[in-house]
Amino acid sequence: MKMFAMSIILCRGFMGMSQKKEALPYFELPAYADHYTAGTMAARMVDALGFRYYWATEGLREADLRFRLNEDVRSIEETIDHILDLSYTIVNSTLKSANGNHDTSEMTFYDRRRQTLFNLKEAADILRGSTDISQFKIIFGERQIPFWNQVNGPIADAIWHCGQIASLRRASGNPISSKVNHFMGTVKS
């Protein structure tokens, strides 16, 4: 319970100091299922993404968000925006909704981080309860793409970009907490 209370304090992010305190998902990985199905495996992949994203973006400073290695690469903030877009593709698939544009121009860093984490949590919860994940297609207009592409597309891409954020924030002088255990999905107290 002590860790949960700490996540409420930490989750606000630098731009959310005046935001209402709330616990964001993925401070730690949820317990894994007691059985293996396509749904529980896919959900665990999304949960792992959520955990990595939570800690890649936790405690970012304004200077970190603007940080980029050079003009040819995305800044941390631009990478966060891309992951938000990917999270919409992931959750829309589980909601059987078509993908479209989302106006995020008025969203603060905290809002974008929060939305990404809740998109991933919603998708994982739907997948966890599913016995047939083939029904969750990626929909772009009339085009419906199989769930297989969700794995090698948006999910893998977002995990890749979490690693980029981790590397960029280390380069900007603000590394991820050493208390995070990515293998176990836990945080040392």
pLDDT digits (tens, 9 = 90+) for 92-123: 999 999 999 888 889 999 999 999 999 999 99
Q: Return the residue matching tokens 């836990």.
A: 186
Q: Between residues 62 and 3, which one has the greater pLDDT? A: 62
The span from the CA of 142 to the CA of 117, in Å, is 28
Q: How confident is the model at residue 7 (pLDDT cuts 50, 70, 90)?
A: very low
**Residue-wise pLDDT tens digits, 137-157:** 999 999 999 999 999 999 999
* DSSP code for 131: S
How many C-beta atoms lie closer than 10 Å to residue 45's C-beta?
Answer: 18
Domains and CATH numbers, the chain: 2-187 (1.20.120.450)
- Residue 10 pLDDT: 39
17, pLDDT greater than 70: no
pTM of this prediction exceeds 0.85: yes
Nearest partner of 112 among 5, 15, 2, judged by Cα: 15
**Residue-wise pLDDT tens digits, 24-42:** 999 999 999 999 999 999 9
Mean pLDDT of 156-181: 97
